[in-house]
Structure formats: C-alpha cells, structure tokens
A and B are shown apart, each in its own frame.
Chain A
C-alpha cells in the first residue's frame, strides 16, 4: 500500500473493521496533535532527550566520572568544559548527558505507577460509593495524611536502598492525590444523564468505569502528572541525599543540584545547570501534556 492509500484507509468515513476504526481515531488524534505547535515542540524536546540518553557515550565530551581536583569549579565557557566543572573537577555537560538516562528511567517508572494506581482507587471509590468509598478513602487519607518523607523512608527501609526502590517509594507516596482528584471528578459525573443512559443500556460498573469515567478523569490527571514530573525528579534527589536513592558518584540530576547547593552564591552554575535541565524536561512534559489533553479529552472536542 502506498502512502496515500494508507492515508485514505485511515481517513475513511466508513471503517470496515474495529481495528481500522481505532487506527483511524488514533491517526486523527495525531493530526490534531501535530497541528499544535507547542505540543510538537514539547515532543521534540523529549525525542531529543531520548536520543541524548541513547547516544550518551558518543555525545559526551568527557568521562562523567573523571575527576581533576586541580580543575574544579571552572566557570561556564571554559575551554573543553562548556558548562564548567563541579566540585571534584568533573565535566558538568558530560554528567548532564549521562544523567538523562537516570532521569528518564525515574520519570517513566513513577509516571506509570502512581497515576494509574490513583485513577483506579479514585474512580472505584467515587463510582461505587457507600462503604467501598469509605474504606478506600480512609486508606487514601492515611497515606495522604502522612508526611511524605516518613512514608518514603519507611518503604525504602523495608525494601532496601537503591534507585529502583526509591522510585517505588516515591510512587507509593504520590498516588493519593491522584486518587482524590479522580474521585472528585467521578462524583461530579457519575450522576450525569449520559452515565445514567449508559447504565440503562445495561452496561456493568466495570465497563462504565473503564470506558466512560476514566476518559473523563484523564485530562486533569495528565495535567497533574506533567506538573509533577519536576517534583518527582527532585523527590528522587531528596531520597538520594539521605542515602536512599541514587548513590554517588551517579550523575543523577537532582543529586547534582544538591551537590551544587554549597556553591550557590559564588559558583551558581553548578546547581543551576542541572536545574535548567530539569526545567526543560518538565516544560516539555507539560507542553506535551496540554497537547495530549486536547486530543484525549472528549469534552473539549471542537
């Protein structure tokens, strides 16, 4: 099939199979998404980040672990070290490039676990109501009411130190807000006419929740997740700081920021460069999230 034939097949008004209909919907979503310049920009940054992570050994000008004490805290634009060097004389740019791998890993894992868990708990509680709601919300409350660090530390303590467990601990502390948001959304839509209509057609609760309530909750969750990205990276750094996350000399961005904190008044770039990296990534996620929202959210269809 040629390109145009594919296009026609995808854009047909009369799909011949379920698969074709679904593919067509996806393609149309992509078209809508593509016309959103900012979202494409965000996607571009993330693709770039993926490329950097994949080709880190090729791109990085130096070994990220190579120390040179005589050459420490060099400013921006130093020859051979365009982003300067850190406290042990390591090249900041190379560390940022290698660090993108760790960052992507953390972000992907947390973003997969926390919102999904929150969505399930929140929508079930909101839709079923009654004692199920009571029990689920009490559990959510217990988790929410905890000071986050206490909870995260406890999980890591139980599971053992390391970056994977740190990610898991962060996810476990991050889901309750998603659950509450999802529940609040569910409460406002569960009595709406169209849900009643679906129910009258004989749809079971599972079907209603997954097919009709989830899509409506997803938009605010996506906004929240994309906003939380930076927070997740920094939370991982916080645990690293307490010896429970990435261990030195790992070039994890958050850990680089806390290392640079001591020099902030005289050697500002040491903490600011990884900060800018986190900012760029979270901006990208946010732009992407806004774009996705428009595509995914049936309520805001034009």
Chain B
C-alpha cells in the first residue's frame, strides 16, 4: 500500500507550476481544436463551391469531377477533417487556391503587416483613450465630457472608409504630410532584409532610417484611424469604470482625509480599474489583429483581414482555416497573458 501512496502523489512528480501550465496549455489546445473543427465545418456548409473556385467558369463537367476527387471532397467529412488535422499538426496548412503558394508562406507575409498596424493602433488608442476617459469621468457632465463623448461616437458611427478616404484626401492628397496607400514607397520596396516582416522593425534592425521614416509616414494614417476606433471604445469604457470607483466610499474617505485629488484619482480609483481595463484593451487589440478589411482595402495594406475575407468568398478553405487558426491562436495567447496580468494585479480575483 505504501508504494501506491507514493505513486498517487502527483505533487512529488509534478510541481504545481507545471500542473497549472499543463492546464493552460491543455485549454489552449481544446480551444484551438474547437476552432479548427467549427471552421472546417463552416467550409462545408458555405454556399460557395471550392471546386468552381479552382476550375473556373469555363470548365467542363469532366474537369470539375476530376478536381472534386483530387480535393478529396468525395470522402466522408470526418475523414477529411482527420486528414487535415494530421497535416496541421505537422505544420502543413496546405496550398492556397488563390495565391498558388503554401498558406503558411502567405500568412508569414500578411500577418506581420496586420500586427504592425494593430500594435501601433492600440498604442495610440490606449495613450489617448485612457486619459480621455479618466478626465471625462472626473469632470463628468462638463464640456470636456461632452466633447469626449462626441469624439468617441463620431469614431463609432462614421464608417471607416469615410474617415479613411477623407484622411487620405486631406493629409496625403492636399497637405502631403503623410505617405500614400501601401506599406512603403515603391522605391524602397524590398530594400531591407525581411526578418520579422514588419517593415518598421526590420528597417530599424537594419539601421536603414530612410526606409524607417518612409514606412512610418505610410503607417501613421491607417494606425491613427484604427487608434481612433480603439480610443473611442477604450475611453468610453474607462469613463464608465472610473465613475463606479469615484462614487465608492473609499474615495470619499480618502478625500475627507485630505488626500490630493491627483492621488485619489490615479493612486486609488485608477489602480482599481486596471483589471477591467486590461480586458477591454485586450479585446480591442484582438479585434484589430483580426484585421480591418475596409482599412486594408482603402490603404492598400496587404493584411490578414482582407486575406481571410477574399479567401472565404472564393471558398479557398485552406487559406481560411490557416488564417483563422493564426488569428485564433493570437487571441488565445492574448487572453492567457491578460489572465496572468489579472492575477498579478488583483489579488481579489484569486
């Protein structure tokens, strides 16, 4: 019996941190598997014919049948899924119909473009949105609160192509302050060796500041636009969270004790909304990482949003699945990161 006891003591074999990270990894795997399965099924119920996407409008019935069988569409669904899963585990996402190259290679090209844009957009959104939200909450009902509200709502209700085209017309067309559509001027295209695929990072690594400046002038407008959208969301949520805290008793107590307003706001109230804020920022960042199709179209930005959408509409299911997996993985990882941050910042959330 004694032998059994030692055997049954997981702690001795697996330390707690390992168990916990095992659970985390497990839940990521489950999420990803679910994601893959649902996406795979979507591909099969979509009213778009993947065979037609390959053979084209003029194809004869015979050519059609040939491709149908080559794609393995005549096999049972579950077998198709199993085969696909096996390939994915080995890192093979298959070939894209639309681009005639491996999906993995396509994603390595389009995802860094989105990552670069979304990160800068989120930085802008947080840098302006959080202070704006805090000020709006503190000066509730004042003109500054009203302006913050209108600014946020304009961002929400004017479609992005409207703002995007107006921005392009003014800052690029008339004033010439920023670079035009595209990631970099064509004269600088392919000048820095691609390491991360993000031109700003690559040119900085290469020490090529001319390209860096050029890329910056191209990214600043679309990033500001996306930043505006996340600013709108972040500032409204910040305001709402802050209002809750500012009406709490401990704030009144702190004020009565003669604590400075600055310390009350930032030292107390703001400290307590950090956890909620992280959820909000993570959600908004994840939203941007999904790729904003219209922004990408207007700024000719070859990102993952338009990649997935185009693929979906043409039933290029390998590309859709690959893109979805990557967006999903990034999202799950962001979640894990924000969960870790919760625990670090807020002892109450166990």
Tell me whether A and B are bound partners. yes
Given A180-B283, A299-B247; A147-B31 close (CB under 8 Å): no
Give the nearest-CB partner of A154 in chain B: B42
CB of A148 within 8 A of CB of B290, answer yes
**Bound state CA distance, A38 and B275, in angstroms?**
30
The 4 A-B residue pairs with the shortest CB-CB distance, nearest first, are: A145-B328, A230-B157, A154-B42, A279-B157
**Bound state CA distance, A220 and B313, in angstroms?**
36
CB of B152 within 8 A of CB of A147, answer no
Interface 9-mer from A82-90, A182-190, A201-209: A182-190
26 A–B pairs (Cβ distance < 8 Å), ordered by A: A38-B141, A141-B331, A141-B332, A142-B35, A142-B328, A145-B35, A145-B328, A145-B331, A147-B291, A147-B305, A150-B39, A150-B320, A154-B45, A158-B45, A177-B283, A180-B283, A188-B349, A220-B240, A223-B236, A261-B162, A279-B154, A283-B149, A283-B150, A299-B247, A301-B247, A302-B247
* Min distance, Cβ A263 to any Cβ of chain B, angstroms: 11
Asked if B159 is at the interface (CB within 8 A of a chain A CB), the reply is: yes
Please, which residues of chain A bring their CB within 8 A of the CB of B241? 220
Q: Report B's interface with A, CB cutoff 8 A.
A: 27, 30-31, 34-35, 38-39, 42, 45-47, 141, 146, 149-150, 152-154, 156-159, 161-162, 165-166, 169, 232-233, 236-237, 240-241, 243-244, 247-248, 275-276, 279-280, 283, 286, 290-291, 293, 305, 308-309, 312-313, 320, 323-324, 327-329, 331-332, 335, 342, 346, 348-350
Asked if A199 is at the interface (CB within 8 A of a chain B CB), the reply is: no
Please, which residues of chain A bring their CB within 8 A of the CB of B46? 153-154, 157
**Do most interface residues of chain A lie in helix, strand or loop, or is the interface mixed?**
helix
Give the nearest-CB partner of A230 in chain B: B157
Complex partner residue of A146 from B161, B237, B276, B324, CB under 8 angstroms: B324
Interface 9-mer from A4-12, A15-23, A67-75, A270-278: A270-278
Known: A145-B332, A177-B283, A271-B162. 16 other contacts (CB 8 A): A145-B331, A146-B39, A147-B308, A148-B290, A150-B42, A151-B42, A153-B312, A180-B279, A181-B276, A184-B275, A184-B276, A184-B279, A220-B237, A275-B159, A300-B244, A301-B247
**Residue among A139, A147, A230 having the largest count of chain B Cβ atoms under 10 Å:** A147
* Min distance, Cβ B229 to any Cβ of chain A, angstroms: 10
CB of B45 within 8 A of CB of A147, answer no
Asked if A1 is at the interface (CB within 8 A of a chain B CB), the reply is: no
Please, which residues of chain A bring their CB within 8 A of the CB of B141? 38
